[in-house]
Each structure stands twice: as C-alpha cells, then as structure tokens.
Copies of this chain bind each other. A is one copy, B any other.
Amino acid sequence: MNVTQVLSQTEICQSCTIRNRAICADLHADEIVLLNSIGRHRTLTAGEQLLWEGEDAVLVGNVVEGLLKLSTGTSEGREQIVGLAYPGDFVGRPFGGTDPYGVEALAETRMCVFRRQDFDAFAREHPRLEHKLLERTLTELDRTRRWMLLLGRMDAEQKLATFLLDMVERLSGAPGLNPELTGGNTVPAFALPIGRQQIADVLGLTIETVSRHFTRLKKDGILDLPSRREVAILDRAALQDRAG
C-alpha cells in the first residue's frame, strides 16, 4: 500500500456524508484508513435484498444514503417490519452466527459494507469503535422497546399518528432536508419513503386500515395528502393528540 492510496482512502471517509453520525465518528485518521481497507462501497437497487433471515451473517455495514427495511414474517406469511435503517445507521449482526431478520432496500441505497469476520476482528482491536457501536445499539434497543408500546397498546389512529411524527423527526435529521420539518405547528409536504403496505407492516396493521386512517386524518384537516407519496402536516398539535 503506498502513500497515495492511503491518502485517497482517508479522503473517501473524510468526505463521507455520514462521517460524523456513523459508528466511525470517533476513529482517528489512521484507524479510518485501516477500516477503509477492509470495507467497500456497494449500491443496492430498490427491492434488492442484502441479508436473509436465518442465513449465516456474512456482511455488516453502514447506510450512507437511502433506506433499508429490517423484517421478519410469520410462517403464514404475514410480515412485520422491525426497523428502518436510515443514513448513518448500522445493519447486520456482528459477533453472531446468523442474521436474525431480513434486510432489503426500499429505495436505491448506497452502503459501506464489511465482511463480518473482518469487521469483528477490527472492532475487537478498536474499543472506540466498539463503544460507538454499543451506544448505537443501546439507542436502537430503546427505540425498539418504545415501538413495542405502539404495537401492543395503541389503536390504529394512534399508531399512524405516532408513525408520522416519528418519521418527520427521523427525516429531519437527515442531510439536505428542510430544517423546517422540525419547527412549528405545520410541516410542509415531504416525500414518504415507503408505501401504504409497508407502513402497515411497520405498524402491525393491514393496508386498508392504514388507508382509512390516512383519509380520516385528511378529512379532519390534520394532514394533507398531495399525492400518495407525499404528506403535509397541517396541525402537528392535533396529530400529537391523536398519537395519545
């Protein structure tokens, strides 16, 4: 490996859009170079599957841009989305034998992936990285447990309202998005990254129920739905009320 390569590899991470939000945030320059040498970039097309539930865990990685869904299903074929991975999020199962759920791209997604073995070895030698990963995993566990309250104890309207508020919050953290998404009582129209069926799969509902409640929230003047893939929040306070 010559110096030019090293520099250019460093550059790749330095200019990375998620450099400060992903688990690599606290690494030193020399560590970044090392990590870069075991990783590679990969682009998934919408609908492409990255990991399969129950298969050997061979890959882990960071989402750079795009959106992934993590999901499992019952034997009868009902699907439950157990998480969405936005830019900066880590996916895959380090230190484990098999991937516990499937991972599929919902939109064209750029990633930074590692062979799991390589990543595990690197992580064990770099406590700063393990620490970041631990913090991220703890946060994700908290978020997942909060979602259990939604799945177990909320009615359809509360679920949908909570989902929309959560999505706005998540999207406004992403780069290049309107910071107005967080301000006042109305939120300008933004693009929903997923369709009705997948919203249903996140909320543990059917597509019909999701659709009916979208319609109701629109009729009640809380939402506007300029197109199927766009939502505007006309009255955030009212939506928060509906979220319970």
**Which residues 101-148 in A have Cβ within 8 Å of B in the complex?**
101, 124, 127, 130-131, 133-135, 137-142, 144-148
Q: Per a CB cutoff under 8 Å, which of B74, B135, B148 touches A153?
A: B74
Contact of A76 with B by CB under 8 A: yes
- For A154, list chain B residues within 8 Å (CB): 74
Question: Which B residue's beta carbon lies closest to that of A126?
Answer: B127
Q: Majority SS of interface residues in chain A?
A: helix
Q: Which of B124, B133, B145, B151 contacts A204 (CB 8 A)?
A: B151
Number of interface residues of A (CB under 8 A): 44
List A residues 73-108 near B (Cβ within 8 Å): 73-76, 78-80, 82-83, 93-96, 100-101
Residue numbers of A with Cβ under 8 A of B are 70, 72-76, 78-80, 82-83, 93-96, 100-101, 124, 127, 130-131, 133-135, 137-142, 144-149, 151-154, 158, 203-204, 244
